[in-house]
Structure 1
Amino acid sequence: MGKSTKAIVNHEFAQLPEQVFNAWLDSELVKQWMFPNGDVVRIDIDARVGGSFSFVDLREGEEIDHRGSYLEIYHPRRLAFTWGIPEESSDEDRVEVDIAKTDTGSKLTLTVEMDPNWAEYVPHTEKAWSMMLDTMEEIIK
């Protein structure tokens, strides 16, 4: 990906890195934290490098398919994947999740590399991921 714009979100968890990492690859947990207010139609996760995922939720009666492929999986400290909504755009973001152990649990740093054309969406992207990570923390207690 040539030039990119980055959205960055940091979140402190009371949970251990293993718990936080696993919440990204467990379809039942993803359903609860990623779409807490949505109607989840289907979640498919093939959690291996080169594997893919599809998270389909219902918004205003329309199915929205969030798709991506896993680029890196280093349990329990790093996960990288592509992220896009093919029906809306051919652009794909690169999402990197880094998890470090802390004295009180773990710290997650999420970086979304976006095409510069989407720069105006950085604040919205950071807010959306922050809300999802807040929900994740509630779910994995």
Structure 2
Amino acid sequence: MTTQASPTRSPDGTATVRQAFGAWAAGTGGPYDLLADDAVWTITGNSLASKTYSSRETFMSQVIRPFNARMSTGLKPTIRSLYQDGDTVIVFFDASGTARDGKPYANTYAWFLQLRGERIVRAFAFFDAIAFNDLWTRVQPVP
């Protein structure tokens, strides 16, 4: 008698991402906490930050910390849609906050997050480069 292996089901990455986004909205954490140290994050398109970042620290130091240093209030995300296909979670969301110059920043994002367990190991990010570039050039980061 042979035994067939039951198909393995991918862990529920949407729950992991939804929880991280909830923490981000509450100001108690966020999706970047899920990044593996060797995560590769690609910002697509033609923004001033568009390229592939080869590690969590490179991405955080070159994009996220300088972005946050341009804001007087942190971004608050609102998920529009959340999907999972295999080990990839796709999150479509809006995020807005106030820049240090008092002007609002708002953008719409689509992230394709490849997870290994509860860690993001690969990401592709899409967003409005015009809105991002305006903030990036208009507001200088404050250390």
Identify the structure with bigger relative contact order (alpha carbons < 8 Å, sequence gap 6+): 1
**What TM-score, normalized to structure 1?**
0.35
Larger Rg computed on CA atoms: 2
